[in-house]
Amino acid sequence: MDENSFGIRDGEVAIPLPDHYDASLYFIGRIHTPWKQRRDCPKNPRESNEVCTIEVDPRWAPALARVESLSHIIVLYWMDRSRRDLIVQVPRHYGEKFGTFALRSPARPNPIALSVARLVGIEGNKLKVVGLDCLDGTPLLDIKPYFASTDAKPDAEVGWHAGRKNAEGKR
């Protein structure tokens, strides 16, 4: 299967989507990365030290006040090329079936992706960060402060992943 295709693999299950949406989103900026195609993207954020740029639309730029005091941010973005109807997936590099909610795959009912990024600097409406792995031009949804007190769970375990080499359930 072509790496950029979004077909279904053997064992995957797609369902009919609901007939209406329940809420709507604004794209509030774009993420600029060195990766123009899916096959170029790092498999997970630990695999790259590239500095990426988050460009916030000028409309929302004043909302960045005091973000410069954060060492890490949570970045939410929209995986706009992903199919939303898969409930069971077979990631290529695992070759086994998983429920969508056990994976970080971009294919999910609401393709909101989340990365924890280290903030390197801010200039105006542009943030320099390390720790993203998405395609160039990805739409931005939100930026949040990362609080170690509530967000860091260093002892968390992903049972299905124990003993495997790759750190993420991406396809």
88-107: which residues touch a copy of itself (CB under 8 A)?
88, 97-104
Name which of residues 26 to 65 contact a copy of itself (CB under 8 A): 26-28, 44-46, 56, 59-60, 62-65
Name which of residues 107 to 136 contact a copy of itself (CB under 8 A): 108-110, 112, 114-116, 118, 131
Q: What are phi and psi of 7, to 5 degrees?
A: -75, -170
Q: Is 8 in the site for a copy of itself (CB under 8 A)?
A: no
Q: What are phi and psi of 117, to 5 degrees?
A: -120, 150
- The minimum distance between CB 108 and a copy of itself, in angstroms, equals 6
Name which of residues 10 to 29 contact a copy of itself (CB under 8 A): 13, 15, 17-18, 21-28
| Residue span 139-158 as binding mask against a copy of itself, x where in contact by CB under 8 A, dash where not | x-xxxxxxxxxxxxxxxxxx
Tracing tokens 């395609």 back to the chain, one arrives at 135
Beta carbon nearer to a copy of itself, 2 or 24: 24
Q: Which of 167, 168, 151, 169 is nearest to 73 (CA)?
A: 151
Q: Torsion angle, CA of 154/100/95/113, rounded to 10 degrees?
A: -60
3-state secondary structure of 34: coil
